[in-house]
Structure 1
């Protein structure tokens, strides 16, 4: 069975991290829920009580905050809790792209270590300033002292904890996922 899932674009991740595009708070709430793992129906079930609709999802799509991905799903019986009928959290991916991953999923292009180091440096600088503010000064100094990608890996946990304390768990998860993508050179 073919289903459509949505994932954030680079513009969507940037909005979550920096609020650069000043997306309306209701649409921003919906954008936070888009994770590249859940179907449109799953997301709508979670946000209907907030007054969000398919039209809101369409707005995010039209404004290039999210992208639609067509996937083949595994039979529902193997992916749900028997008692509740809700999707189980799988140890392995539940869906696989119907097209090659390079065409279907938004990911980082292959980077050299120097490019990845610079991307990580920029990511930390921009998001510490926007998400943590002055409380991130000590962390910012550690970023400036980092000389290897492994140094950035060592900062991951302190960074995620600082973002969670300053902005809450949703923002921390979003930025953590983006950071992990950079640390792993775009491979999951």
Structure 2
């Protein structure tokens, strides 16, 4: 299987609110689907959970995911791009702040922490309010610092703080992250 899958609106809503009651067995696979990884790569990561091609078919049949493309050859590795420029979600209106912070966590936990961030990813999924997402700020920053170092953690801290609201100064116990 070399197709690339992405979540549908229904899939994103299920992750955010558990509205459709997707089985807990399929949730980890749905969380990992990001529109970037090939199906076989995703299935390799969840094989230990007893999930396979039939699980992808079940998500697709339920309307949670859809195939978007065949994977392109991977470009040669390059230096990581600086994370300092604001993402479009960082300019979100207050009523969309929860989804902006939720998406920020989802995208950066996967790319910065990887599988070690799985437990944190589950906490993000369970969060139902902006306050609950705020409480994950420090564990998130600690994990990024451990995985990627101070500079990356500092950059992501600044982006996260903008998403959480500049009017609220967030406490920072990572003394070696600096200002």
Scaled by the length of structure 1, the TM-score of the pair is 0.46
Higher strand share: 1
Scaled by the length of structure 2, the TM-score of the pair is 0.48
The structure that has the greater radius of gyration is 1
